[in-house]
């Protein structure tokens, strides 16, 4: 049985961590299967939105499998692996440019929450609990330390990062860590509905708009505006822009061609 399953639904891909007996922890085999699923997602031009979730109702992902890592003789570093923590984080945060949604069903700890933080949006089940608890085991979050302050503000981020304490769904929604809270039974359907709403829009425009938003928070304003101007020009001069206006005038669904 694969440790990660990949399901395609129209223009959506559902990537499910499939190790529920270990709370979908990031062991060596699961990580390898995840990289394969990521490659399939990134390489399929007909898939525009990816949804990440976990098998079972206990956990989205409990983070790095510390028991497996310790058994390999390397403690938290994974035993004999030459990969640095940053390179390991980059493997779960590929820059494919597509829209991603994390559907957090249960616990999302450490690397599991880090993975969710790299997604564009996060929704969670009512029983979800989220934590970056690396400081409790002598580590620091390689990606969460950068991403969390942008999402929830410095004060909220500092508490989560330095205490290692979890937050529940209600608190995560209050601080902006998640966009929505859904019942456990409705979580995936809610994520699919969100994905389908996004995928109904022009894919070139969605990707460019996503990129513009990231430029705005990652770069100085003037540089971001110059970089963004090229993106905007390419979208406004595209065939899809012509098709969008024509479909609106003719009161019909647009036929997006990604060009």
The rounded distance, in Å, linking the Cα atoms of 123 and 72 is 34
CB atoms within 10 A of CB 174: 13
The rounded distance, in Å, linking the Cα atoms of 235 and 139 is 43
Question: Which of 64, 58, 57 is closest to 34 using CA atoms?
Answer: 64
Helix, strand, or coil here: 57? coil
DSSP letter for 76, please: G
Catalytic annotation on 114? yes
The rounded distance, in Å, linking the Cα atoms of 161 and 8 is 35
**Signed CA dihedral, 170, 213, 195, 58: sign only:** negative
CA 31, distance to chain mean position in Å, is 15
176: which 2 tokens? 């902006």
The rounded distance, in Å, linking the Cα atoms of 111 and 89 is 8
The rounded distance, in Å, linking the Cα atoms of 93 and 144 is 11
CB atoms within 10 A of CB 164: 18
> CA dist 96 to 50, 162, 258, Å?
11, 31, 16
Among residues 7, 114, 233, 243, which one is catalytic? 114
Catalytic annotation on 171? no
Among residues 7, 68, 134, 196, which one is catalytic? 134
Would you name the residues annotated as active-site residues?
114, 134
């Amino acid at each position: 049985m694969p440790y990660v399953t990949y399901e395609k639904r129209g223009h959506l891909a559902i990537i499910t961590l499939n190790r529920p007996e270990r709370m979908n922890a990031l062991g060596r085999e699961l990580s390898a299967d995840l990289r394969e699923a990521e490659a399939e997602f990134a390489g399929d031009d007909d898939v525009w939105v990816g949804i990440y979730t976990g098998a079972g109702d206990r956990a989205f992902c409990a983070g790095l499998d510390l028991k497996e890592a310790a058994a390999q003789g390397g403690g938290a570093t994974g035993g004999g692996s030459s990969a640095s923590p940053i390179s390991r984080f980059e493997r779960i945060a590929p820059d494919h440019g597509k829209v991603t949604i994390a559907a957090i069903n249960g616990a999302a700890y450490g690397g599991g929450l880090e993975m969710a933080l790299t997604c564009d949006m996060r929704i969670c089940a009512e029983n979800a609990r989220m934590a970056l608890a690396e400081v409790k085991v002598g580590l620091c979050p390689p990606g969460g330390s950068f991403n969390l302050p942008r999402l929830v503000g410095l004060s909220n981020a500092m508490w989560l990062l330095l205490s290692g304490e979890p937050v529940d769904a209600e608190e995560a929604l209050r601080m902006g860590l998640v966009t929505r809270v859904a019942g456990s039974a409705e979580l995936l359907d809610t994520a699919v509905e969100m994905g389908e709403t996004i995928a109904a829009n022009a894919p070139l425009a969605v990707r460019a708009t996503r990129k513009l938003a990231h430029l705005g928070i990652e770069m100085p304003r003037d540089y971001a505006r110059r970089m963004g101007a090229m993106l905007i020009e390419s979208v406004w001069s595209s065939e899809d822009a012509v098709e969008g206006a024509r479909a609106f005038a003719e009161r019909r669904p647009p036929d997006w061609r990604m060009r």
